[in-house]
Amino acid sequence: MTDIPALAIRGVTHTYGHHPGTTSSRSPLLRSVDLTVRRGEVVVLSGPSGAGKTTLLTLCGALRSVQDGDVRVLGRALRGLTAAQQRAVRGDIGFIFQSHHLIDALTAGQNVMMALLGRVPVAESMRLAETALAGLGLASRVDARPDTLSGGEKQRVAVARALVRHPALILADEPTASLDAASAGIVLEALRIAGRRWGAAVLLVTHDVRVFEIADRRVHLADGVLVEAGSPASRPRLRALAR
């Protein structure tokens, strides 16, 4: 296993309305954020709404350009990349969003296969899709279209799509927010296995205290500042979150 972190963030500051070469009077949403996530590690990021958690996640996933500081995915710096280079980086990342973003015209299996297009033969991609869906309790729903699936089933299909390639880095934004206890447990177990079994690095944004159970480490974002959960600076914020 390589010593290079799957994700390394150093001194990242992000301000909405920022224009390169100008000085903005607006307060930055992120302030000199540092974070490292290594292979096989599950890190949970908590914080109040509007704290910048999703913004940080999109910066890590090359979905948004880095303004100030350094973000590296598998050792590759993201700042200054072209759109094509950003797309190439995203090919090594598994994304799980709050919304499932399934294609209505495709079956569950075909939606998962979309993550494998151009990477493996069609027959192999179908086998991998079926295996991924079975791992999330959806073996019987491979041929079902999204309009026949429950909300929890749709989200689990989206998780299967993110995991089917065994990505080196998984970025998840509130993946269990709309799930009942049973579905949330299945998703969390799949993410835990991703970290333990094939050494994926997982950065998971959540308000859901159920997710804390699978975390190797917890960090908290508030007022643009990231702190380790358990540090003296974080305790008042975490107590407020728990309430």
| pLDDT attached to residue 25 | 53
| pLDDT attached to residue 223 | 87
CATH fold of 1-17+27-92+167-243? Rossmann fold (3.40.50)
Distance CA 60, CA 175 (A): 17
| pLDDT attached to residue 241 | 42
pLDDT tens-digit map of 11-58: 999 998 655 555 555 678 999 999 999 999 999 999 988 889 999 999
77's tokens: 């710096």
pLDDT category at 75 given cuts 50, 70, 90 is very high
User: What's the first-to-final CA gap in the chain, in angstroms?
Assistant: 40
**Average pLDDT of span 219-228:** 92
pLDDT tens-digit map of 122-150: 999 999 999 999 999 999 999 999 999 99
Domain boundaries, the chain: 1-17+27-92+167-243, 100-163
Q: Are 217 and 41 in contact (CB under 8 A)?
A: yes
Q: Is the pLDDT of residue 233 over 80?
A: no
| pLDDT attached to residue 50 | 85
pTM: 0.87
| pLDDT attached to residue 23 | 54
| pLDDT attached to residue 178 | 82
pLDDT category at 103 given cuts 50, 70, 90 is very high
Distance CA 137, CA 160 (A): 10
